[in-house]
Amino acid sequence: MSLKEKYKDYFLIGAAVNTHTIQTHKDLILREFNSITCENEMKYGEVTNDGVTYDFADADKIVAFAKDNGLAMRMHTLLWHNQSPPPIFKNTDRDRLLQVFRGHVNRMAQRYGKLVYACGVANEVIDDKGSEYFRKSPWLSIIGDDFVDVAFEYAKEAMPNVTLCYNDYNESEPEKSLKIAKLVRDMKNKGIPIDCVGLQAHWNIVSPSVDEIKRAFELYAGLGVKLHITELDVSLFAFEDRSVLKEPSLELIKRQADFYREVFAIFRQYRDIVESITTWGVADDESWLSNFPVPNRKNWPLLFDDNHQSKPCYEAIMDF
C-alpha cells in the first residue's frame, strides 16, 4: 500500500517538486503522492524578473505533469520577502505597488487558479524576534501594515474557490506561534478572507519538541481555520549543529522515524481540520537541506532515501 492510499481518508499527501524531479522522481511521485507544490517555479521572482514580462514555461511544465497524472496542486506563493522581482520595489509608492501586485495575482489566478485547491497567499511575514511583529520588508515599508490583508483580498477576488493560506516557518515556536495566531485572529475579526494556516514544518530531530508542536496545533485549531502542513522535512541536525556526516547512524535514523511517527499521530488527531501534508521534496537525493544552513552538507530529511527506497520513517507513519 502507498502513503496516499493509507491516508486517503485523512488528508492529501503532497511533495514539493521541480522541473527536474518530475522526471527523475516520476515513478515515486505517482506511486506515493496525490498533491504537488512547485518548489520555486510559481514564485513571483521566478515567473517574472522585472514584474512586467512573464515566463511561465517551468510552472506550466509542472502543471501539465499534475494534469496528466491527476494530481492536486497547491500554489506557492504570491507575497514573500524572498524571490520577488526587485524592480517592483524601485521608484514606487503604495498605490503603484498595489496595482502591480494586483496585476500579478490576477495573472497567476487566470493561468492556474482553476487548477489549484490551495494557495499560500502570504509567506513568512512574521518576524522571528520577539521584539518585532512584522518582518521588515519592502512590502511592509511601501504598502504599510495592511499589506497582508490586501493580498488576501486580491487573492479572494481572483480565486474565490481556492483555499487561501497564510504560511510560515518556526510556526511551533511558542512566541512566534502566538504572533501568527494574532495575525490570523485579527484578519478574521476584520473580515479578511483567510481560510487556512500553512505550517511549513521544517523541523529537526531535536527541535521543536513534540509537546511544542501539540501546543501549536491546539492554538491554531482554535482559530477556526484549516491547517495545511506545507513543507515538512525532518533534518538529522539541530539547527546550530554545523557538523558533517558521511552516513547517518542507525540511532539518528531511528530518532527520525520516532519523530515522524509522533507528528503524524498529531496530524491524524486533527484530521477534521488538516487538509494536506506536503513534504519539501520527494527523496533525500534532492533536498534544499543539502545546502542549508551548511552549503554542500548532505542531509537525509525525507521519507525516501537517495535510491528512492522507503526509509524507517516511512514505515513508522504507515504503521498505525
Binding site for ligand G3I (CB under 6 A): 39-40, 82-83, 169, 200, 231, 288
C-alpha to C-alpha distance for 85 and 52, rounded to whole angstroms? 10
**C-alpha grid cell, residue 53:** 514580462
Residue of minimal CB distance from ligand G3I?
288
C-alpha to C-alpha distance for 57 and 115, rounded to whole angstroms? 16
- Residue 288 CB, shortest distance to ligand G3I, in Å, is 4
Main-chain phi, psi angles of 284, to 5 degrees = -60, -20
- Residue 296 CB, shortest distance to ligand G3I, in Å, is 12
Provide the greatest CA pair distance for the chain: 57
Beta-strand runs (E) in 18-143: 35-38, 72-80, 118-123
Catalytic residue among 32, 39, 231, 286: 231
- Residue 16 CB, shortest distance to ligand G3I, in Å, is 7
C-alpha to C-alpha distance for 263 and 172, rounded to whole angstroms? 12
- Residue 53 CB, shortest distance to ligand G3I, in Å, is 17
Question: Based on CB atoms, which residue is closest to ligand G3I, 41 or 153?
Answer: 41
Catalytic residue among 46, 124, 275, 286: 124
Question: Based on CB atoms, which residue is closest to ligand G3I, 98 or 203?
Answer: 203
- Residue 123 CB, shortest distance to ligand G3I, in Å, is 6
Question: Based on CB atoms, which residue is closest to ligand G3I, 270 or 288?
Answer: 288
Give the burial class of 289: count Cβ atoms within 10 A of its Cβ; 0-12 exposed, 13-18 middle, 19 or more buried.
Answer: buried
- Packing angle, helices 94-112 and 147-158, rounded to 10: 30
Dihedral over alpha carbons 56, 71, 24, 60 (to 10 degrees):
-10
Asked about 231 being catalytic, the answer comes back as yes
Asked about 157 being catalytic, the answer comes back as no
Question: Based on CB atoms, which residue is closest to ligand G3I, 82 or 309?
Answer: 82
Question: Based on CB atoms, which residue is closest to ligand G3I, 17 or 162?
Answer: 17
Q: With beta carbons less than 8 A apart as the criterion, state whether 36 and 14 touch.
A: yes
Give the number of C-alpha atoms closer than 13 A to the C-alpha of residue 215, restricted to the C-beta side.
12
C-alpha to C-alpha distance for 140 and 228, rounded to whole angstroms? 25
C-alpha to C-alpha distance for 263 and 266, rounded to whole angstroms? 5
- Residue 263 CB, shortest distance to ligand G3I, in Å, is 18
Question: Based on CB atoms, which residue is closest to ligand G3I, 98 or 122?
Answer: 122
Which are the catalytic amino acids? 124, 231
